Chains A and B, each alone.
Chain A
Amino acid sequence: AQSVTQPDIHITVSEGASLELRCNYSYGATPYLFWYVQSPGQGLQLLLKYFSGDTLVQGIKGFEAEFKRSQSSFNLRKPSVHWSDAAEYFCAVGGLNTGTASKLTFGTGTRLQVML
């Protein structure tokens, strides 16, 4: 069955430190890949997406993600975390068996805490 795995439920980093959030998916072909961020009581904001082409994609707020086909991974990175980055981050996969990019299967999320 198709699935999206975010192995880290909770991560704590110090402000200014680098960040990597992991995401793996299970699917036979290359799906559409997304990272969304959710602040408390808010909706989901798109950070970045991968549809095709360059496997390193840049997003908003200084985030980037790299698609690695051989590892079925799409990890999110940021070189220097700011206190305002504290939120929950969701990896999502679209197009699983549907060809519809925006019909999404979400991971369980990673809650990021930033220490000042």
Chain B
Amino acid sequence: DAGVIQSPRHEVTEMGQEVTLRCKPISGHNSLFWYRQTMMRGLELLIYFNNNVPIDDSGMPEDRFSAKMPNASFSTLKIQPSEPRDSAVYFCASSLGENTEAFFGQGTRLTVV
């Protein structure tokens, strides 16, 4: 299996622009997670889906952030409008059910200038 696939690997955008990060989970996995990694806050969970349904979005920092999972093989994390403080590495992870380990993608490094 190719693992969790994220795109793009790197994204540089100007403040105020819309940014969309993409994730393809491992085939057959039904739980999907978005994490953000920063120097200040470390790794933190933003949102997770189970069977394509958002279960917990309490980690989403503000309304500028939104996530969707239209089907079992694709998810997006959108930031609109982006701000410099959104600069971070965003990881997507998936798991086979809620009580198994999560496998992580390579991450998307976002830089907002």
A: number of interface residues (CB 8 Å): 26
| Residues of chain B within 8 A of A105, CB atoms compared | 45
User: A32 to chain B: which residues have CB within 8 Å?
Assistant: 99
Is A101's CB under 8 angstroms from B100's CB?
yes
Q: Given the complex of chains A and B, what is the CA–CA distance between A32 and B43 in angstroms?
A: 17
Chain A residue at minimum C-beta to C-beta distance from B55: A100
Counting CB contacts under 8 A, is B93 at the interface? yes
Q: In the complex where A43-B105, A44-B91 touch, is A101 in contact with B99 (Cβ < 8 A)? A: yes
Interface size class of B (residues with CB under 8 A): 20 to 34
- List A residues at the B interface (Cβ < 8 Å): 32, 34, 36, 42-46, 49, 51, 90, 92, 94-95, 98-109
Chain A's closest residue to B92 (CB) is A43
Q: Report the minimal beta-carbon distance from B30 to chain A, rounded to whole angstroms.
A: 11
Nearest CB on A from B97, distance (A): 8
| Known A-B contacts A103-B48, A104-B45, A106-B43; A42 and B99 likewise in contact (beta carbons under 8 Å) | no
Which residues in window 35-51 of B have CB below 8 A to A?
35, 42-45, 48
